[in-house]
Amino acid sequence: MTDLNKLTLFQARQGLKSKKFTAPELVQSCLNRIKSLDKKLNSFVTIVEENALKQAKTVDINLPLGGIPLAVKDNYLTKDIRTTASSKLLDNYIAQYDATTIDKLKKAGAIIIGKTNLDAWAHGSSTESSDYGPTLNPWNTQHLPGGSSGGSAAAIAADETIISVGSETAGSIRQPAAWCGVVGFKPTYGRVSRYGIIAMKSSTDSPGPICKSVDDAATLLGIMSGHDPLDATSIDEDPWKKPESRQNLNGLKIGLPLSYFPSQIQPEVKEAILKAAEIFKKFGAQIIELPDVLDPKYSIAVYTILQRSEVSSNLARFDGIRYGHDRSFFGTEAKRRIMLGTYSLSAGYYDAYYLKAQKVRTLICQDFDKQFQKVDAIIGPVSPTTALKVGASKGQAMFGELQDMLVEPSSIAGLPGISIPCGFDKIALPVSLQIIAPQRREDLVYQIAKLFEDNTDYHLQRPTL
């Protein structure tokens, strides 16, 4: 069987169990794809070919992910595998333990084939700020894959792996998934442990899957989730379980926020979202326009202040004494964020900036609570545009915040959300839809997304490489 790398998780599991192919053959297929494409795309920072093939020979394929190749965003600690956060400061850092999520995935039988590229320290939404060079979008290599999980999203879109994981702080799962035309599932804050993931903005960091289908992402999320005593912000619940899918949306009220269609929105993006709303309506959902949702522009200011403040604190540990190189290895973007964050937290400015931003964050959370009294879920665009051209982020200090402005509010509020393909623009770049639900309602996000995917074929389209 050829092109095993193109299989979904579900298809790969079926093939392994029925012995149509072996785990080493599946892993080798993905590694071959990486060898043929990655000099062009730069999705990976590190490849672990020898170790992956060795594990594939002995893996128990009866495990939930037994024999499945996994690409890991390079801000997850992976024991005995280099972890750089795409910064040369950590160029030679070998982690001594696995992040909790990685430990769970490995115990489920997943085989790490490599670590994927990201914006250095996850600071960005383009993957252009990586110290190892930018990742390119598989749909059009003159365009960006988004970020900061751009490497993971590009690897899935290019069929370099079967499954991957990313992390989201203000859109870094959903936005690159959208620009690369794949599925990105951001869980409720605390649903998946942050332990062992290099912290960026600890109060919103949310690890999650980036996959080829809604079912694949939901399956992966179930394995990744669950309470972790090593993470004080971890929700004290058993692992999330994927619910039964729905045949219709009868009785569901789905909100369409008018403020999620800003003046700068690309016309094809708006058109695709409104077409998606009609599909939901066809299956029995009531589409309710929400004219009073808090304008996402307020999230930009809130996120900028809070994120920089937490970055200033979290990056203080990288002093070159215990691990990594000294602080002269920080890139321009990291230095800019450290300085702005330190300023926001300093005496005389704390109340004016940081404290005020926290108060507005509370207002954003309260606004979602108010909207969810009217509707069960909310839909809208993931990003105002499709993938922008390479170089678009250069000299644009607020590039990430502007591209993430429609997903930042739900990340700030700790809500679950998903990005799923829903169309293409006039130059064949993917357009994606986001679905947001109240905290801990991943079940609703999954059911709505699954029904849409089952009745469209956007997720089946793949770039020609």
pLDDT digits (tens, 9 = 90+) for 407-417: 999 999 999 99
> According to the model, what pLDDT value does residue 340 have?
93
Contact 177, 183 (CB under 8 A): yes
Two tokens, residue 254: 């789905």
- Using left for φ > 0, alpha for ψ between -120 and 50, and beta otherwise, residue 361 falls in alpha
Q: How large is the average pLDDT for residues 292-318?
A: 95
- The percentage of residues in the chain with a pLDDT greater than 70, rounded to a whole number, is 100
- The DSSP secondary structure of 187-208, one letter per residue, reads PPTTSB--TTB--SSTTT-EEE
What residues have CB less than 8 Å from 49, skipping those under 6 apart? 31, 113
Nearest to 257 by CA among 277, 243, 275, 240: 277
Nearest to 174 by CA among 182, 165, 184: 184
pLDDT at 422 over 90: yes
CA distance 458 to 186: 20
> What residues form DSSP beta bridges with 163?
70
pLDDT at 227 over 90: yes
Can you tell me which residue has the tokens 């300093």?
A: 346
The domain limits of the chain are 4-460
Nearest to 436 by CA among 446, 426, 427, 428: 446
Two tokens, residue 27: 């892993």
pLDDT digits (tens, 9 = 90+) for 16-51: 999 999 999 999 999 999 999 999 999 999 999 999
CA distance 135 to 147: 9
Strands in 111-116's sheet, in edge-to-edge order, are: 44-47, 111-116, 69-73, 163-168, 206-211, 183-186, 417-424, 430-436, 377-381, 253-257, 286-290
Top pLDDT among 207 and 396 is at 207
Q: In this structure, what are the phi and psi dihedrals at residue 325, rounded to the nearest 5 degrees? A: -85, 175
Q: How large is the average pLDDT for residues 60-76?
A: 98
Q: In this structure, what are the phi and psi dihedrals at residue 361, rounded to the nearest 5 degrees? A: -60, -40
> According to the model, what pLDDT value does residue 385 have?
97
The one-letter amino acid at 139: W
CA distance 273 to 402: 19
Q: Which of the four pLDDT bands, split at 50, 70 and 90, describes residue 398?
A: confident
Contact 123, 131 (CB under 8 A): no
CA distance 133 to 28: 25
pLDDT at 338 over 90: yes
What residues have CB less than 8 Å from 372, skipping those under 6 apart? 378, 437, 438
The H-or-E segment that residue 276 falls in is: helix 267-282
Q: How large is the average pLDDT for residues 79-98?
A: 97
Two tokens, residue 3: 């092109």
CA distance 172 to 118: 10
First to last CA, the chain: 20
pLDDT at 360 over 80: yes
pLDDT at 2 over 80: no
In CATH, the number for domain 4-460 is 3.90.1300.10
- The DSSP secondary structure of 97-130, one letter per residue, reads S--HHHHHHHHTT-EEEEEE--SGGG--SSSTT-
Q: How large is the average pLDDT for residues 226-235?
A: 98
What residues have CB less than 8 Å from 175, skipping those under 6 apart? 125, 146, 147, 184, 382, 383, 403, 404, 407, 419
The number of CA neighbours under 13 Å toward the Cβ of 44 is 28
Can you tell me which residue has the tokens 């620009």?
A: 179
Q: How large is the average pLDDT for residues 322-331?
A: 95
| Interior/surface letters 400-427, b for 16+ CB within 10 angstroms, e for the rest | bbbbbbbbbbbbbbbbbbbbbbbbbbee
Angle at 271 between CA 268 and CA 277, to 5 degrees: 145
The number of CA neighbours under 13 Å toward the Cβ of 76 is 34
Q: How large is the average pLDDT for residues 54-62?
A: 98
CA distance 377 to 441: 9
> According to the model, what pLDDT value does residue 396 have?
84
> According to the model, what pLDDT value does residue 412 have?
97
Q: How large is the average pLDDT for residues 444-462?
A: 97
Beta pairing, strands 377-381 & 253-257: parallel
Where in the sequence numbering do the catalytic residues fall? 73, 148, 172
Q: Which of the four pLDDT bands, split at 50, 70 and 90, describes residue 1?
A: low
Mean pLDDT (the chain) is 97
Calculate the CA 319 to chain-centre distance: 28
> According to the model, what pLDDT value does residue 348 have?
86
